[in-house]
Structures are given as C-alpha cells and as structure tokens.
Amino acid sequence: MKAIGKYIIINEIKEDLKKTEGGLLLAESHREDIRYRTATVKSTGTHVEGINEGDTIWYDRHAGHNVEINDDLYSVIQERDVIIVL
C-alpha cells in the first residue's frame, strides 16, 4: 500500500475514555471542542515533505475519508490537513 502525490495514509490512535461532569464516558474524538485527532502515518505520497512513515501526527478531524484494505480501516488525508508532527 502506497499513498501518491500529497496524500497520507494514517491509522487513527484510539484514545482513552474521559468522564464528563454528568458521568458520561466520551472518547476525545467525540468531544465537540477538540478539532484535532492523533494518528500514526502508514504511508506518504511522493510530494509530501517533513512527514514520514511511523510519525505521530495531529490532523483536522473533518479532513479526509476512510478506506478499508484487507479488513483494516485506514484514513486518507492530505498534507495540508496535518498541523503537528511529533
């Protein structure tokens, strides 16, 4: 599996549940006030700079789309959607 151009294939990092004041358990990804999610980079396109396979990134949760490859779920985003590389 190889991303092309400015695309990046990622695996979202599943986050621990947080308890709200009302006692509800929510994942960080379901909080309305958190715009960004973390992921591990699986593949980068040839035009992507500064991001490498295996990097942990923060990206806009509204970006990209999901794909299923060999029963595994991945997200495909563009380089412009990445805000932090750890």
Which domains, and CATH codes, for the chain? 7-85 (2.30.33.40)
- Token pair of 73, please? 């779920």
* This model's pTM is above 0.85: no
Give all strands (DSSP E) within 1-86, no chain letters: 7-12, 17-19, 25-27, 36-44, 56-60, 65-69, 72-78, 82-85
Read off the pLDDT of residues 27-58 as tens digits, 9 standing for 90 and up. 655 566 678 999 999 999 999 999 999 999 99
Average per-residue pLDDT for the chain: 90
Q: What is the pLDDT of residue 84?
A: 97
Evaluate if residue 6 carries a pLDDT over 90.
yes
Can you tell me the mean pLDDT for 6-24?
84
In this structure, which amino acid lies at residue 83? I
